[in-house]
Each structure stands twice: as C-alpha cells, then as structure tokens.
C-alpha cells in the first residue's frame, strides 16, 4: 500500500509541466448573457448547474479568465478521479467489452475488423493527431469497396479525449454490425442500405495523455491545448472561433468535405442528454428551422435510453434533452459546423455522467444505448428522399429547399456523385423546390404523416435552353464601338461595327446595362427565348435638356481630392446624385432626398484607394437622368 502511494506521488511530482497544462474549475455567474458571451469566449464550459459553471481552461485561457474578476474554485481534473480503469493489453482482453484498449490494441482491433470482414468493412485513417496518432474511420456497408448510391451516415466520439464511454461504444457498435450482418434483420437492413462511417476516437492524444498504455488521466483538449469542439468554423462568429484550426479539426473538415454525410452524431460524456442545434444561438434568438424535428428525435433517443436502463439514466437537463444554446452558448462546435456548412443533421450525445467511467461499467452503457443508437441510424429510413437527375439519367448537384421554411443553410443538397438526397422534416405538407444550375427548377408538394413517414420523390430536371444574343449599338445611324454591355454577369465590348454577341445565354429574363464614355447609360431587360439581335440607340452625353431641368456645375475637373457639385433647382424636388464607374457600378451616392428650391451644394471626397480614372456623375429626377464625366487624378504621395 505504502509503496503504491509513493509511486503515484513520484508520477505526479515528476510530471509537473504536463500536469499544469489545463485546469478544471468552477465559478458562479447568474447572468446568462455573460455566460453566453464573455465566459464561453474565454474558457471551455463543461456544464452548468444553476448559477454554477464548470469549465476547462488551458494556461492561456485560465490567465485571461483570472483577469475577469470571478471567484475561481479549482477542482481536481475529472479524469484524475477515474476509478477502476482496467486496460486490455490484447484483443482477447476486449472479449467482454469491460476494459479500455491500449492504443496498440485499438489499432489492432481496427485492422482486425477489416481483415475479418473484407466485404463489409473498410478501414481508413483520415489523418493523424498532433502527436502522430491515427484518426481512424471505418466504413461499413455491403459491397463496401463500391461507392453504391446510398445515404452516408457518421458516428464520431471522444473529441474530448477524457470522455471515453462513446469510444468503447463505437468499437462495440462496429463489432455488433459486422458480426450480426446476415443474422439480425435489422442490422442487415442498415448495412445493406446505408454507407455507415464510424470514428471511435477523434482525439487520441487527449485519451492517451499519459501514454499508449492507459486512459487514466485522459484530457479534454488536444496536445496543443485546444478544445476541438470549440475549433470548427462557427455559423455566427465565423472562422477560427478559438484560434488556429487544429490538425484533428482539419482532418474532420477535409473528411466532411470529401464525403456527403446527411445524418450524424458526436458522442461525449459528463452529463446524460441529447443536445441539438444550434449551439451558437439561444432558441429564443434564432431557432433552427427544424427545431421541432431535432427536439422530437432527441426526445426519442432519450426515451429509448431511459427505457433500456435503470431509473435516473439519461435524465440530464430537461429529462435528457436540451437545445444547445439554451443550455449554454458555444462558439465553434462540430454539430453546428456539420449542420451549417455541410447541410448534415447532427446532434451531440452525452452518454455518461462520469466522463471516464470504471471499465466494468462499460457493458452497461452499451445496453442502455444500443437500441437508441440503432434507432437513430434508422432515421435514414424516414423523411423526403430520392434522386435528382437530368433527362439523360445523369445525377445532378441540386439544392432542395422547403419553401417558407428553410433558412441559415437548413436546405439540403444531393450527393453530386449519385444525385441522392435526404430531407428529414416534421409531419405536414411541404412545398419542396429542386434547383440545379442550368436546369429549370421544379416545386413538388409532399405530405408526411409522421416524423417516421418516408416519401420517395425522384425528380428529373429538364435543361434550360441556351441562346445567342447579338447587340447592335447605334447613335442615330452611326454604329458605336467600345460600348460596354453587361448581361447575366458577363461584360463584353462592341466591335468596330457596334456589335457584340453573347453566346449560350440561359433562357429566361435577364437585365442588362450599356455604358460608354460619351453616351448616357442604358438599362433594360431582355427575354431570352430564341437567338436574337437587339438594336439599341444611345443618346450622347451633354444633350440639351428642357427648361425645367436644373442647372448643374461640377468642379474642379479633373480633381485630385474633393469634387464640388452644385445644383440650382427651380422647384422643390427629389433628386438623386450618384457617382458611377464606366462599367456602371455605383461608387457613391451623394444625395437621394427631397430638396428645396434654390442652390444646393455637395462635395465628394473619394476613398484614397479609389483607382484614378474617368467616372460619371449621374443626376436623376423625374425619371430622367443627366450624366457628367469627371476625371479623378489623385496626386501621388
Ligand atoms: Zn464533451
């Protein structure tokens, strides 16, 4: 006994540098707005109980937080309390699933799955951790080596390295799916119809913080002291919410980019609940358009977990579910990233109050969650789904939008490789619009009678015709060369005969405008429904206007710093004065309001970064416009 204590003491005493890299503490903040702004932006909140906030912090984060003036109660690092951790040193030691594998045993297991089930399982590494450990993913599907047109599903666990329950459940789920294929109908059905991807451990450096042979003392952060679940692009605050993207984050982002996941979940521990989007906003500020769908499916997970466990399990927060931001707001969460950036429905599953539970308890957590995990995957057999192709039966990269419902990127897309899509939604009748570049869009009315209903809707989009449009620009009878025409986002100039042709313009109505240094700008719209030649007559600048037109004076011209504009009005009138580039882009609005009669003076000082050159001052009133050319010639500094 004494000897063992001494060894533990030496271990801690000789690794002080490692030990001090991150902190676990609690503090008090009753003001929810401050929790959701200053606190969540400074440290990594773990959980909240009433006014008490439990959080992790790296040294740098802790230093910043210390300056905020909160009372800080340092707590033992959660995993230091980990009890009864028994490690498996061989694959055989994992037979009863009541041990944690060493890192080497984990690697062997992953390789063994592929070796034992080569037609069902393909092992891949999507990258390596900071310290060079593998970020493994298995694909499980029938004909696993083919890219069959199947919806893609993803489970990932333990991006917080000290939350180890999901790690073991993922390994066990892989084993369960592979060993029961062809025996249990439900499993066969999942494996036959879905491309299932499973990543057991997204932060192995955190889990094996004290080396490959133990998960004792595992850590939340990665080896660079970053919380990976605060490290993804965020729908509200944007890129790099907590610093540079970590190698583990980049691997996940690249993988998500390469695949076409439509449904996923990421596993955690520390509480027992299902957490659904958004994390970035409170639901009262900005609910997800599919808030009710997320709430219902999260409730289902919690109900199934409760039904298969002793009383009290999976009852965190609101009896086992919470909207992310209503619990506490997080910036840079993976769930929000997958939903917002990849149109993939993802939730966060917190499956054990103890982050790193005794290894003997692991089989219980499997029993509690197995039914819920399988049922969650079976959500892929619900909703609106099908294939979007063209008339040649080629798959299309299409966007599928629910009219009057979708926002914040909640629309879904087809997998461009095979055209298939998945749009889960609550029961109701929905107007579903299918759009693909170069094709006529279609809107279909689809009715779902329950959240588990499935409606297969294959859609064939017809190509938009394309036509050639020729412009002939004249002034009177004289052809005008060098007139710039902008149509459908493209600009071309007329040739010496005053002509230019836009080829393959997609059918439909398109606005266009024509500019020239010596003629008034011309704006109009054209209906593209055949090959056409359009003649346009331009009026020269400086035309004599009727008597009621105001006198204008613009000086100095050329100007280097400020331009003066004077308008003499004979009556009170709404006048717009604006500055344009020669291509017709508006550079500045000088005024646009009702002005009293008399002399009105304005001045314009362009931003110094404005390129030197010719610009147009445009005066608009009563539907007519007058244009004055000016030359901006800034003095070089
Ligand atoms: Zn976590």
HEC sequence for 103-120: HHHHHHHHHHHHHHCCCC
Q: Right CATH number for 87-270+347-381 from 3.40.630.10, 3.40.1080.10, 3.30.830.10, 1.20.120.160?
A: 3.40.630.10
Specify the pLDDT at position 1: 38
d(CA 296, CA 299): 5
Backbone angles phi and psi of 147, in degrees to 5: -95, 80
pLDDT at 145 > cutoff 50: yes
The answer to whether residues 298 and 188 touch, using CB atoms and an 8 Å cutoff, is: no
Cα–Cα distance measured from residue 497 to residue 21, given in angstroms and rounded to the nearest whole number: 74
pLDDT at 294: 98
Q: Which residues pair with 350 in a beta bridge?
A: 268, 273
Stretch 353-380: mean pLDDT: 97
Burial label for 429, CB within 10 Å (0-12, 13-18, 19+), is exposed
pLDDT at residue 338, rounded to an integer: 98
**pLDDT at residue 111 greater than cutoff 90:** yes
**How many angstroms is it from 132 CA to the middle of ligand 1?**
22
> For the chain, which residues make up each domain, given as ranges?
18-75, 87-270+347-381, 384-461, 466-537, 551-632
Model confidence at 81, pLDDT cuts 50, 70, 90, reads: low
- In this prediction, residue 550 has a pLDDT band, given cuts at 50, 70 and 90, of low
Looking at residue 569, what is its pLDDT?
Answer: 78
Q: How far is the CA of 211 from the centre of ligand 1 (A)?
A: 21
d(CA 499, CA 576) in angstroms, rounded, equals 32
Q: What does the pLDDT look like over 397-438, one tens digit per residue?
A: 999 999 999 999 999 999 999 999 999 999 999 999 999 999
- Residue 632 in contact with residue 580, Cβ under 8 Å? no
User: CB–CB of 170/137 below 8 Å?
Assistant: no
Q: Which residues contact 63 (CB under 8 A, 6 or more apart)?
A: none
Mean of pLDDT values over 230-234:
98
Cα 286 to ligand 1 centre (Å)? 23
Per the CB < 8 A criterion, the answer to whether 64 and 82 are in contact is no
pLDDT of residue 4: 44
Ligand 1 centroid to Cα of residue 15, in Å, is: 25
pLDDT digits (tens, 9 = 90+) for 495-531: 999 999 999 999 989 999 999 888 888 888 999 999 9
Say if residues 484 and 582 touch (Cβ distance below 8 Å): yes
pLDDT band (50, 70, 90) for residue 347: very high
| Closest by Cα among 81, 80, 71, 78 to 26 | 71
**CA 348 to centroid of ligand 1, rounded, Å:** 9
Our measurement of the distance from residue 388's CA atom to the centroid of its chain's CA atoms, rounded to an integer in Å, reads 23
Strands (E), 37-141: 44-49, 52-58, 73-75, 87-88, 100-101, 121-128, 134-140
CATH architecture, domain 18-75: 2-Layer Sandwich (3.30)
Q: How far is the CA of 355 from the centre of ligand 1 (A)?
A: 8
Does the pLDDT at position 471 exceed 60? Answer: yes
- What gap in Å lies between CA 230 and CA 245, rounded to an integer? 10
Contact 74, 25 (CB under 8 A): yes
Distance 162 CA to ligand 1 centre (A): 8
Q: How far is the CA of 316 from the centre of ligand 1 (A)?
A: 14
The token pair that represents 305 in the structure block: 């977990």
Cα 186 to the center of its chain, rounded Å = 32
CB 36 within 8 A of CB 325: yes
Cα 324 to averaged position of ligand 1 atoms, centre (Å):
12
The whole-number average pLDDT for the span 187-199 is: 98
Over the stretch 567-579, which tens digit does the pLDDT of each residue have?
A: 877 777 788 899 9
Give 68 Cα–ligand 1 centroid separation in angstroms: 25
Query: How far away, in angstroms, is 171 Cα from ligand 1 center?
Result: 18
**Inter-residue contact 335 to 324 (CB < 8 Å):** yes
Identify how many contiguous H helices and E strands the chain contains and give both numbers: 15, 37
Give residue 9's pLDDT band: very low, low, confident or very high (50, 70, 90). very low
Q: For residue 372, how far is its CA from the centre of ligand 1 (angstroms)?
A: 19
Question: Mean pLDDT, to the nearest integer, of 211-233?
Answer: 96
Judged by average pLDDT, the poorest of 1-15, 199-213, 363-377 is 1-15
Spatial distance between the Cα atoms of 596 and 575, rounded to a whole number of angstroms:
10
pLDDT band for 21, please (50, 70, 90 cuts): low
Cα-to-centroid distance, 356 and ligand 1 (Å): 11
Q: Which residues are part of the catalytic machinery?
A: 350
Predicted local confidence at residue 596, as pLDDT: 80
Distance 22 CA to ligand 1 centre (A): 15
Q: Where are the beta strands (DSSP E) in 277-427?
A: 321-323, 345-351, 383-390, 399-402, 412-413, 420-423
232: closest CA among 247, 251, 253?
253
Both structure tokens of 110: 């992953």
Residue 13 in this model has a pLDDT that exceeds 60: no
How far, in Å, is the centroid of ligand 1 from the Cα of 268?
A: 4
Under 8 Å between Cβ of 356 and 78 = yes
529-547: pLDDT as tens digits: 999 999 999 987 754 444 4
- Arithmetic mean of pLDDT over the chain: 92
Q: Give the number of C-alpha atoms closer than 13 A to the C-alpha of residue 122, restricted to the C-beta side.
A: 15
Between 401 and 83, name the one with better pLDDT: 401
> Which residue has tokens 């919470």?
322
Equal fold, 87-270+347-381 vs 384-461: no
CA of 164 to the centre of ligand 1 (A): 10
Average pLDDT (367-376) is 98
What is the number of other CB atoms lying within 10 angstroms of the CB of residue 96?
11
CATH code of 384-461, in short, is: 2.60.40.1120
Give residue 33 CA to ligand 1 midpoint distance, Å. Answer: 22
Whether the CA torsion 229, 232, 233, 238 is positive or negative: it is positive
Instruction: Specify the CATH number for 466-537; select among 3.40.50.720, 3.30.450.40, 3.30.360.10, 2.60.40.10.
Output: 2.60.40.10
Tell me the Cα Rg of the chain.
32
pTM of the predicted protein model: 0.77
Q: How many CA atoms lie within 13 A of 226 on its CB side?
A: 22
Left if phi > 0, otherwise alpha if psi is -120 to 50, otherwise beta: which for 6? alpha
Q: Which residues fall within 8 angstroms of residue 480, CB to CB, at 6 or more apart?
A: 473, 474, 494, 498, 516, 519, 538
Question: 345 falls in which pLDDT band (50, 70, 90)?
Answer: very high
Could you tell me the CA-to-CA distances from 126 to 134, 264, 348 in Å, in that order?
Answer: 8, 17, 21
Residue 18: the pLDDT is: 45
Q: What is the pLDDT of residues 177-186, one digit of tens each?
A: 999 999 999 9
Architecture of domain 551-632: Sandwich (2.60)
Mean pLDDT of 145-170: 97
Under 8 Å between Cβ of 457 and 466? no
Residue 482 is predicted with a pLDDT of 95
Q: pLDDT confidence of 92, banded at 50, 70, 90?
A: very high
CA of 514 to the centre of ligand 1 (A): 58
pLDDT at 549: 60
Instruction: For residue range 284-339, list pLDDT tens digits in order.
Output: 999 999 999 999 999 999 999 999 999 999 999 999 999 999 999 999 999 999 99
User: Is residue 618 a contact partner of residue 541, using CB atoms and an 8 Å limit?
Assistant: no
pLDDT of residue 190: 98
Interval 32-52: pLDDT, tens = 999 999 999 999 999 998 999
């Amino acid at each position: 006994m004494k000897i063992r204590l001494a060894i533990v003491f030496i271990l801690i005493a000789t690794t002080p540098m490692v030990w001090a890299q991150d902190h676990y503490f609690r503090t008090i903040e009753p003001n929810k707005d401050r929790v959701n702004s200053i606190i969540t932006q400074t440290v990594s909140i773990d959980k909240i109980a009433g006014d008490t906030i439990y959080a992790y912090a790296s040294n740098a984060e802790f230093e910043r937080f210390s300056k905020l003036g909160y009372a800080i109660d340092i707590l033992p690092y959660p995993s230091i309390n980990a009890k009864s951790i028994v490690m498996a040193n061989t694959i055989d030691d994992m037979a009863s699933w009541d041990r944690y594998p060493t890192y080497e045993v984990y690697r062997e297991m992953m390789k063994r799955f592929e070796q034992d089930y080569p037609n069902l399982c393909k092992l891949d590494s999507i990258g390596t951790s900071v310290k060079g450990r593998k970020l493994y993913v298995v694909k499980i599907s029938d004909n696993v080596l083919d890219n069959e047109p199947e919806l893609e599903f993803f489970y990932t666990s333990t991006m917080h390295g000290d939350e180890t329950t999901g790690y073991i459940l993922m390994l066990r789920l892989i084993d369960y799916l592979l060993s029961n294929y062809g025996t249990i109908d439900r499993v066969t059905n999942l494996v036959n119809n879905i491309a299932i991807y499973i990543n057991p451990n997204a932060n192995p450096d955190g889990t094996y913080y004290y080396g490959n042979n133990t998960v004792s003392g595992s850590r939340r952060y990665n080896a660079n002291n970053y919380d990976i679940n605060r490290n993804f692009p965020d729908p509200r605050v944007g890129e790099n919410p907590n610093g540079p993207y970590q190698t583990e984050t980049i691997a996940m982002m690249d993988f998500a980019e390469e695949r076409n996941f439509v449904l996923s979940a990421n596993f955690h521990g520390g509480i027992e609940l299902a957490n659904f989007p958004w994390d970035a906003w409170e639901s009262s500020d900005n609910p997800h358009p599919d808030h009710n769908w997320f709430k219902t499916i999260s409730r289902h997970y919690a109900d199934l977990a409760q039904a298969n466990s002793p009383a009290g399990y999976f009852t965190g927060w609101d009896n086992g579910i919470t909207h992310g931001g209503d619990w506490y707001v997080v910036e840079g969460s993976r769930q929000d990233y997958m939903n917002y950036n990849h149109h993939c429905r993802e939730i966060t599953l917190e499956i054990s109050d103890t982050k790193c539970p005794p290894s003997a308890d692991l089989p219980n957590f499997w029993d509690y969650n197995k039914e819920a995990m399988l049922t969650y995957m079976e959500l892929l057999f619900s909703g609106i789904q099908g294939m979007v192709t063209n008339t040649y039966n080629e798959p299309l990269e299409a966007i599928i939008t629910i009219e009057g419902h979708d926002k914040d990127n909640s629309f879904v897309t087809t997998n461009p490789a095979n055209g298939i899509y998945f749009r889960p939604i609550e029961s109701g009748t929905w107007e579903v619009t299918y759009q693909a570049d170069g094709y006529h869009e279609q809107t279909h009315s689809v009715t779902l009678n329950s959240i588990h209903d499935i409606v297969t809707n294959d859609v064939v989009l017809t190509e938009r015709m394309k036509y050639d449009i020729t412009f002939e620009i004249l002034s009177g009878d004289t052809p005008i060369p060098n007139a710039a025409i902008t149509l459908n986002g493209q600009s071309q100039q007329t040739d010496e005969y005053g002509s230019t042709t836009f080829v393959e313009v997609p059918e439909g109505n398109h606005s266009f405008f024509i500019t020239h240094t010596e003629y008034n700008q011309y704006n109009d719209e054209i209906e593209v429904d055949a090959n056409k030649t359009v003649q346009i007559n331009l009026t020269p600048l400086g035309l004599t206007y009727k008597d009621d037109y105001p006198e204008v004076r613009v000086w100095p011209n050329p100007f280097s710093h400020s331009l003066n504009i004077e308008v003499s009005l004979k009556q009170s009138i709404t006048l717009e004065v604006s500055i344009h580039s020669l291509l017709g882009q508006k550079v500045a609005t000088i005024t646009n309001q009702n002005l009293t009669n008399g002399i009105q003076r304005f001045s314009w000082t362009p931003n110094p970064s404005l390129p030197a050159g010719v610009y147009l001052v445009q005066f608009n009133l009563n539907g007519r416009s007058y244009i004055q050319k000016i030359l901006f010639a800034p003095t070089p500094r």
